[in-house]
Amino acid sequence: MNTKLSAVSDKRTDLMCSECGHKSSYKIADLILATRVETTTHEVRQSALCRGCGVRVMQVCNRLDEPVRASV
């Protein structure tokens, strides 16, 4: 999907390495500051490097896959 970062409604995006499974979370505002307003989520995914193994094969990780914390 070629959505501009400036149009993303979430405050964060999660990427997961297709090789080692390492997950990284990024603030959308920080990504805009590090790139440019016209940058798309696809461009971010393509250029992201895994912090675990250094491979450039990242995919968007759905936040629903993460464990739900019980509220007290």
> What is the domain-level CATH number for residue 18?
2.20.28
C-alpha to C-alpha distance for 70 and 9, rounded to whole angstroms: 25
pTM as predicted: 0.68
Written as six digits, the tokens of 9 are 């409604």
* Number of domains making up the chain: 1
Question: What pLDDT does residue 70 have?
Answer: 37
Whether residue 72 lies inside any domain: the answer is no
Question: What pLDDT does residue 63 have?
Answer: 52
Q: Which residues pair with 59 in a beta bridge?
A: 16
Q: Which residues pair with 40 in a beta bridge?
A: 4
Domain containing 52 equals: 5-63
> Which run of H or of E encompasses 58?
strand 58-60
- Which one is predicted more confidently, 29 or 69? 29
